[in-house]
Structure 1
Amino acid sequence: MLLMNADTRQSVACVSGRRVVDVLNRLDVRSVLLDDPTPLDLACQVDVPLDIDLDDWDAAESALRWLHATRPLDAVFSVYDAHLPLASYLAARLGTRGLDLRAALACHDKIRMRMLLAGGGVRVPDHLPAADPADAAAAARRLGLPVVVKKASGSGGRGSLLCRTAEDVLRAVAVLGPAPLLVERAVEGPEYAVQSITADGRTEVVGILAQHVGPGPRQAETGYDYPSGLSTEKEAEVAAFVTRALAVLGFDHAVSHTQVRLTADGPVLVNVAARPPGGQLCAATERLSGIDLTRAAAEIALGRPVTRGTPTATRVLYRCVTSESPGRAWYDLDGIDAPAVTLDVEPGDTVRSVDDPHGGSYGRIVVYGDDPAELESRYRAVFESLRLRVEPDNQ
C-alpha cells in the first residue's frame, strides 16, 4: 500500500496579500489568504483563499478558527496598515504568533500611539485630540501655530496637513473631516525614515535614511538619501530612540517603518507603521542592507531567522516624481534604465501638484552606487532622458 507523506509545512494566514504571496510561495509554507474578495490571480497561488468581509471580525475569526481546528496555523499577519488590527486580533484569538494586538491598535490609532509613547517617556509632538473636527480650531489656538492636523486613525501621510494659519486649520478640517482628528504642534528639524525588524521583542535597526518633504500643507515625501548624513553618534541616538519607542508600543514580532524628526533637543517620533515601507523603499532597503522587509515580515511571523543577503550598494539617491502644477503628465521611457524608474501614471494621465492637499508623488527615480558625484550624475541623466512635462488640462 502506498502511503502519502503528511504535509509538514508551516501554515500561515495573511490578511490581504498581493505584496506577500510571492514571498510565501518562496518560503514553502501552507498559505491561507483572507481578502474581500480574494483576487483571482492570487487565489490561484495560495493553498486556501478565503473571501471574507474584512470589516466583520467575527466572521473572519469563525472562518479561520474552523481552518485552524483542522490544520493548525502557526501565524497570522498582514503587511497593510488597514488590516494590521484584524490580523493581530485573529492571532490573539487563535493563540498563534503575530504582532501584539496592543502594538497593532497603537499603529492604527495615532492618539493611542501618542498616549502610550508619552507615558513611556518617548518624545512625541505636543498634541490634542479633536474627536469632533469642530474642536480642531480651538486645539490649534491652544497649542500655537503652526500645527499639523491629521486623521486620528489610518491614512498615513495622505491624512495629514500642515497648517500655518487659522484659515489653514479650517481648510484642513474640511478636507480631512468628518473623521476624528489629531492636532499637534509642528516639529521643526530634519526628518528620517528608520527601517527595523523586531523578533521576539528584540529590535534591530537595518537602515536610517534622510527623508525629504515637499512644500505646502501636504508635505508629501519627495525623496530619500542613504547614508543619512548623520554622524555615527547621532545615528546611534536615533536607532536607540526608535528601539525604545517600539518596546513601549509593545512590538514583539514585526517589521516597522518609523518617521523621526531630529530637533535641537533630540529625536521626536512622528509616526510608526508596523509594515514594510511603501514605494521603492523596500527594494532600496534590500539593496543597502541585504534584508527584504516583506520576506522578513513573514519570517518573523513564522518564528524563522530573517534571511540576510549581501548588500549590493552603499548609497542610494531616491527622488519622487512630482509636479509644481496640476495637469496632464507626459514622459518618454525609451532608452531609460527601466529599474531606475517607476511611474504610477500613464502618459496623458491627470496629476495634482505636489502642494495640493490631495497631491503627492506619481513616480520614483532611484539610483544606486558607491560614489556621490556619480550617483547625482546618473540621476540627472535619467531625469533628463525621461523628458517629463506636465501640461495644463484644458478639458
Structure 2
Amino acid sequence: MTSVQEASYQGFRGKRLALVESMLHSVFYDEIAAARRHGLRVHLLIKDREWYAADEKAWQGHPLTQVDELTFADTHSAEAVRRALTDAHGRPRVDGITTFSDYHTEVAAQVAEELGLPGPGATAIATANHKPSLRAALGDSRYNIPYALVTHPGELAGAAARIGYPMVLKPPHEAISYGVVRVDDPAELAAAYDQVAAIRHSLRGQPRPGHVLMERYVDAPEVSVESLTVEGRTHVYGITAKYLCPPPTFLEAAHSFPAALGPGVRAEVEQAVAEVLELIGYRQGPCHTEVKITAQGPKIVEVNPRLPAGCLTTMVRDVCGSNPHLDAKLLAVGGRPALPTGRRHGGAAVVMLYPPPGPAVLDAVDGVADAERLPGVTVSLFARPGEHLWHRIDNSGRVGLVYATADTAQAALDTATGAAALVRIKVASDEAALPPDAAGPAFPAIDDTDGSRQPR
C-alpha cells in the first residue's frame, strides 16, 4: 500500500457505513475489520443469521457480530432498509450505504438514492443485474451477444432458431453461475429449458417468475475486469484470466492475475468495460465484468456491479498494492480513494476445490499441510468434516480453494495447481440429503441456509 493510498483511508474517520448483508467469504469479513481499524463505523443489516451460521453457538463467534451496530431487517425490502437507517425525522443515520451481495445491490442503490447518499445509480444497478435488460441496453453494440428472453414455452422454438446452437440458458436474475446450462442441439433444448424455468427463487429466497435467458454461446477465452468507477469514470485495477471446468458446467476451476494479454488486447478489453458502464449510467463503485475475447473483439458476458469473491480482490491487493474493499467502502461514504496506478509486482492464482458430484458428507480433507509447504501457498476450507455437501451446479459447491503468489501469474498458477493436486477431499454418500424435488442432476431450488458454505 502506498502512502497516497494510506492517506486516503484517513477519510474513514468519523464516517458511518451501512452494509446490506455480506458475501460468504472470509475476505469480506476481514475487510470489514480492516475498515474499522481505519476508523470507519460499520452498521450491518442482515435478514437472519442462518445464512451465515449453522446455529446460535456458531453465530456468537462469527466475525459479522463484531461490527459497530447489527440490525435484523428484511433486506429484500427497500422500505425496511430505509426505516432501519433513518431517524424519526427520516434523516439518514449513516454517511453511505453499500453491499457486495448480488441479491441486495438494487435495494442498497435505491435507498442510497432516496436518502441522497453517494451511490452507483439505482437504474444502472437494475440494468446490470437483470441480464436481459443489460442485453437490451447494449443493443447493436459490437460488445453484445445475440439473446432472447423466453417467458413461456411457446416462445422457445422461435428463440432457438434466431440464436442458433450452441447456446447458453440461464436465469435472468442470478449469480455464481447458478442454473447456467449449455445446449448444443435441439434434442437438449426442452429439458434444459424446463430445468432453468423451474428456478422460482433466488439463492437468497427472492421470488422469480421462471423466465429463461437464451444467449449464443461464445467459444473464446474468458477474462474478468476488476474496476472502480469514480464520478462516472472507470479505472481498471487489472484483468483476471478465468479457467472453467469442462462442459457441460460453467464452474470456475481457477483464476490467475494479471492475465497474459498483449497491450492492444488489454486496452480493447478495458475500453469495452468503460464504454458499457458509461452506457448504463454507472456512477460509482466497484465492478467485476466478465468478457470473452473473440476474433471480432471483446464480448460482454456479464456486468456485476460489486466486488468479486474467489480471492480475486486478494490477487489485486497482492499484485497491485491496491485494496478494492477499502476503496469501495471509502467511495460509498463520500471519500475519494487513491485511483489504481497500473503498478504490477509478481502474479497470483487460485485453484478451486470441489467435492465429487452428488450429495455427500465430508469425511476429511487431507494434504493441506503438504500443499502449504509449497512457496507462497495458502489453503482455505469452506466446510468441516461431518457437514452435508450438496453439489449444486454452481460456484457455491466449492469445499475450499488453494491460493498462491509467485514471480509471474503463470508460475503462481503452476504452483497453485500442483498444491491443489496434493489436497484430497474424502466424502461419504448421503442419499438422505436429496431434496424432494431433485429428480436428477438439474438445478434443484434448495435452500442453502444450513451454513455449509460459509468459509472457516
Calculate the TM-score normalised by the size of structure 1: 0.86
Partner of 1:12: 17
Taking a change above 3 Å as real, the CA distance of residues 67 and 204 of structure 1, as seen in their structure-2 partners, is farther
Partner of 2:10: none
Q: Percent identity?
A: 23
**Residue 287 of structure 1 contacts residue 312 of structure 1 at CA under 8 Å; is this kept in 2?**
no
For residue 131 of structure 1, what is the amino acid of its counterpart?
T
1:221 to 252, 265, 290: 252
Q: How does 1:169-318 map onto structure 2 within 5 Å?
A: 169-178=189-198, 179-306=210-337, 313-318=345-350
Taking a change above 3 Å as real, the CA distance of residues 268 and 62 of structure 1, as seen in their structure-2 partners, is same
For residue 294 of structure 2, what is the amino acid of its counterpart?
T
**Residue 21 of structure 2 contacts residue 75 of structure 2 at CA under 8 Å; is this kept in 1?**
no
Give the whole-Å Cα distance in 2 for the aligned partners of 1:378 and 1:222. 15
- How much does 1:249 deviate? 1.6
**Residue 238 of structure 1 contacts residue 267 of structure 1 at CA under 8 Å; is this kept in 2?**
yes
**Residue 213 of structure 1 contacts residue 221 of structure 1 at CA under 8 Å; is this kept in 2?**
yes
1:168 aligns with 2:188: yes
Give the whole-Å Cα distance in 2 for the aligned partners of 1:281 and 1:10. 27
Taking a change above 3 Å as real, the CA distance of residues 91 and 67 of structure 1, as seen in their structure-2 partners, is farther
For residue 55 of structure 1, what is the amino acid of its counterpart?
H
**Residue 97 of structure 2 contacts residue 108 of structure 2 at CA under 8 Å; is this kept in 1?**
yes
- How much does 1:102 deviate? 1.3
For residue 22 of structure 1, what is the amino acid of its counterpart?
A
1:81 to 102, 107, 120: 102
Gaps of 5+ in 2: 1-12, 50-58, 199-209, 432-456
**Residue 320 of structure 1 contacts residue 363 of structure 1 at CA under 8 Å; is this kept in 2?**
yes
1:98 aligns with 2:119: yes
- How much does 1:112 deviate? 0.9
Structure with bigger RCO (C-alpha 8 Å, 6+ apart): 2
2:382 to 328, 344, 355: 344
Partner of 2:400: 363
User: Could you give the per-residue CA deviations for residues 151-210 of structure 1, whole angstroms, max 9, x where no partner exists?
Assistant: 111234113211112233223223222421111111121101110011111111111121
Taking a change above 3 Å as real, the CA distance of residues 317 and 279 of structure 1, as seen in their structure-2 partners, is closer
Taking a change above 3 Å as real, the CA distance of residues 98 and 173 of structure 1, as seen in their structure-2 partners, is same
Give the whole-Å Cα distance in 2 for the aligned partners of 1:68 and 1:207. 44
User: Could you give the per-residue CA deviations for residues 247-289 of structure 1, whole angstroms, max 9, x where no partner exists?
Assistant: 1121111101010001111000000111111111121121111
**Residue 147 of structure 1 contacts residue 186 of structure 1 at CA under 8 Å; is this kept in 2?**
yes
1:383 to 409, 416, 420: 420
Give the whole-Å Cα distance in 2 for the aligned partners of 1:68 and 1:26. 31
Give the whole-Å Cα distance in 2 for the aligned partners of 1:328 and 1:46. 33
For residue 247 of structure 2, what is the amino acid of its counterpart?
G
1:331 to 356, 365, 368: 365
Q: Partner of 1:159: helix, strand, or coil?
A: coil
For residue 159 of structure 1, what is the amino acid of its counterpart?
G
Q: Partner of 1:272: helix, strand, or coil?
A: strand
Give the whole-Å Cα distance in 2 for the aligned partners of 1:62 and 1:323. 42
Calculate the TM-score normalised by the size of structure 2: 0.75
1:26 aligns with 2:49: no
User: Could you give the per-residue CA deviations for residues 55-100 of structure 1, whole angstroms, max 9, x where no partner exists?
Assistant: 2322322332327856653221111110000000101111111111
For residue 350 of structure 2, what is the amino acid of its counterpart?
Y
Taking a change above 3 Å as real, the CA distance of residues 76 and 174 of structure 1, as seen in their structure-2 partners, is same
Q: Partner of 1:298: helix, strand, or coil?
A: helix
Q: Partner of 1:88: helix, strand, or coil?
A: helix
Q: Partner of 1:306: helix, strand, or coil?
A: coil
1:117 aligns with 2:138: yes
Taking a change above 3 Å as real, the CA distance of residues 380 and 54 of structure 1, as seen in their structure-2 partners, is closer
For residue 393 of structure 1, what is the amino acid of its counterpart?
S
- How much does 1:234 deviate? 0.7
- How much does 1:143 deviate? 1.2
Gaps of 5+ in 1: 1-7
Give the whole-Å Cα distance in 2 for the aligned partners of 1:291 and 1:373. 21
**Residue 136 of structure 1 contacts residue 183 of structure 1 at CA under 8 Å; is this kept in 2?**
no
**Residue 181 of structure 2 contacts residue 192 of structure 2 at CA under 8 Å; is this kept in 1?**
yes
Greater CA deviation, 176-185 or 21-30? 21-30
**Residue 14 of structure 1 contacts residue 76 of structure 1 at CA under 8 Å; is this kept in 2?**
yes
The alignment of Structure 1 onto Structure 2 pairs a total of residues equal to 386
**Residue 106 of structure 2 contacts residue 126 of structure 2 at CA under 8 Å; is this kept in 1?**
yes
Greater CA deviation, 91-100 or 72-81? 72-81
Taking a change above 3 Å as real, the CA distance of residues 376 and 157 of structure 1, as seen in their structure-2 partners, is closer
Taking a change above 3 Å as real, the CA distance of residues 323 and 140 of structure 1, as seen in their structure-2 partners, is farther
- How much does 1:110 deviate? 0.5
Give the whole-Å Cα distance in 2 for the aligned partners of 1:269 and 1:50. 37
Give the whole-Å Cα distance in 2 for the aligned partners of 1:371 and 1:104. 35
Greater CA deviation, 106-115 or 52-61? 52-61
Greater CA deviation, 149-158 or 182-191? 149-158
**Residue 221 of structure 2 contacts residue 294 of structure 2 at CA under 8 Å; is this kept in 1?**
yes
Give the whole-Å Cα distance in 2 for the aligned partners of 1:376 and 1:70. 50
For residue 367 of structure 1, what is the amino acid of its counterpart?
A
**Residue 353 of structure 2 contacts residue 398 of structure 2 at CA under 8 Å; is this kept in 1?**
yes
